[in-house]
Amino acid sequence: MNVTYQDSNARMSQVAVHNGTVYLAGQVPSDASADMRGQTEQVLVRIDQLLAQAGTSKEHLLSAQIWVTSMAEFDQMNAAWDAWVVPGRPPVRAAVEAKLAKPEWKVEIMVIAALPEA
């Protein structure tokens, strides 16, 4: 099996690349004092960084899974998402309300992207 892993520790990798597909672990905000929109923007910046590190970008997104702690703040997350996603190229997406690993986190996002064809 031809898989490469990036930013790994004993528990997990942030990135796995297999057969031209890039899989990112769930990303959470670095500054949990921000509101839902601010936390989402932080996560999207980190996703951009990890995708670039793997050799791709949000233009090649295939799928996104989003967890939010409160559907009452769903519109704030969507505002950040809509400003970030490439027009005309939105990935398939699921978004659910869930309790996250740390109570101060409001959002976690996991994406899958294709590597651009050479």
Q: Identify the CATH number of the domain in which residue 91 sits.
A: 3.30.1330.40
Q: Which residue has the tokens 């996104």?
A: 64
Alpha-carbon span 72 to 64, nearest angstrom: 20
Q: By residue range, what is the domain housing residue 12?
A: 3-114
User: How far from 57 is each of 25, 44, 53, CA to CA, in Å?
Assistant: 15, 11, 9
Give residue-wise pLDDT tens across range 52-103. Answer: 999 999 999 999 999 999 999 999 999 999 999 999 999 999 999 999 999 9
Chain-centre distance of CA 104, in angstroms? 18
Q: Which residue has the tokens 């004993």?
A: 10
- Assigned token pair, 118: 């050479």
Give residue-wise pLDDT tens across range 8-65. Answer: 888 889 999 999 999 999 999 999 999 999 999 999 999 999 999 999 999 999 999 9
Domain total for the chain? 1
